[in-house]
Structure 1
Amino acid sequence: MKKQRLVLRTAILLVLIAAVGYTLYANFTKDDIQKVEVGKTAPDFVLVDMEGEKHRLSDYRGEGVFLNFWATWCKPCEREMPYIDNQYQHFKDKGVKVLTIDVGESELVVNNFIERHNLSFPVMIDKGEVQTAYGINPLPITFLIDKDGKVVRSHTGELNESTVRQFMEEIQP
């Protein structure tokens, strides 16, 4: 009986030590994951939108890019979508590109969301690579990228229409 308790206690102790070790490792290396810095070149990526069109971020040099990460289950994301779409209509012919990236949901769910909200800008689904490159957490998060491909601002949280307009004016070439 004593031997069984000793083995059990030892096993529990080893699990706790492993958990603490992993937590420390994760906390010390988490800053290495986020590679996006204001003033630096935005990480390039290639994703295909829901219409089948390929989008490579570096192909939009010369234009401002409003890059938004979101999900259908995120209520602040849902509330800001009409504002983004409305301002997209005003700025799409003025050198501002809107790219939105859903964080890994199914095509069916995303397409239903697009139809329900009548969205007209490109919507792509990322399975994790772009999110990792941009250090995405929490949602929504928006990156403003200037005509030279440099990140000029990142904003975490819900946007209102005047802020969306201000951000698009900020990156308009």
Structure 2
Amino acid sequence: MNNKKRKRLIIRSIVLLALAGAIVFTIYSGLTRETQNILKVGDDAPDFKLTDLNGNSHQLSDYKGQGVFLNFWGTWCAPCKKEMPAMGRQYEVYKNQGVQILAVNISESDLKVRSFADQYGMVFPTLIDKTKSVMQAYNVKPLPTTLLIDPEGKIAKIITGEMSEKDIQEYMESIKPN
């Protein structure tokens, strides 16, 4: 009988230690997540390299000297569907004035993204962040989120939510090189 009690005590102790370890890990993970660098206006835009639907590589630092309209989106996102045609029209106006659009899809299939791009006439580089590493580097939570990056590579503005065509025009004008 004494042997059974000892085994039960050992098993209970192991289970308690495992639970305590899980709780400590959860608390630690939550605290360290909160201390990640949150990007803000004036910060250097983190550099990244992604591939577009045509297989061309795009690195943010290659656009230094130009304004970059960095838009994070998803095919399921209703506001994204509404603003893509307006972004395309404004891209045609500003692309020769030193303002580029990089549309970063969050981890969807090439087929789904290509179909969406064709349907909404996306004429600007359409990139897919397959690992969500760029999304995480930019702390993107809701979609759509757009970051305006000035010609020096600094974050000029962070916009969450849907933009009107007038908004898009004003934002592109604001990051146009002198």
TM-score of the superposed pair, with normalisation by structure 1 = 0.87
Q: Report the equivalent of 1:90.
A: 93
What 5-or-longer segments of structure 2 have no aligned partner?
1-8
- Partner SS state of residue 101, structure 2: strand
Report how many aligned residue pairs link the two structures: 173
- Partner SS state of residue 154, structure 1: strand
Could you tell which deviates more after superposition, 145-154 or 81-90?
81-90
Find out whether 1:59 has 2:70 as its counterpart.
no
Q: Report the equivalent of 1:148.
A: 152
The correspondence for 1:125, drawn from 124, 128, 134, is 128
What 5-or-longer segments of structure 1 have no aligned partner?
1-5
Deviations 1:54-81 (A, max 9, x none): 1110011110000000110111111111
Query: Kindly, what percent of the aligned residue pairs are identical?
Result: 45
Find out whether 1:30 has 2:33 as its counterpart.
yes
Q: Report the equivalent of 1:134.
A: 138
Measured in 2, the distance between the counterparts of 1:50 and 1:116 equals: 14
Measured in 2, the distance between the counterparts of 1:73 and 1:17 equals: 40
Q: Report the equivalent of 2:50.
A: 47
Find out whether 1:75 has 2:78 as its counterpart.
yes
Measured in 2, the distance between the counterparts of 1:83 and 1:22 equals: 46
Offset at residue 30 of structure 1 (A): 2.3
Preserved CA contact (<8 Å) 1:147 1:171: yes
Change in Cα spacing, 1:139 to 1:89, as seen in structure 2 (3 Å) is: same
What's the C-alpha RMSD, in Å, of the aligned pairs?
2.4
Deviations 1:75-128 (A, max 9, x none): 111111111111111111110010010000000000000111111010000021
Could you tell which deviates more after superposition, 17-26 or 78-87?
17-26
One-letter code aligned to 1:71: G
Runs of 4+ deviating beyond 6 Å? 9-16
Deviations 1:117-145 (A, max 9, x none): 11101000002111111111111100000
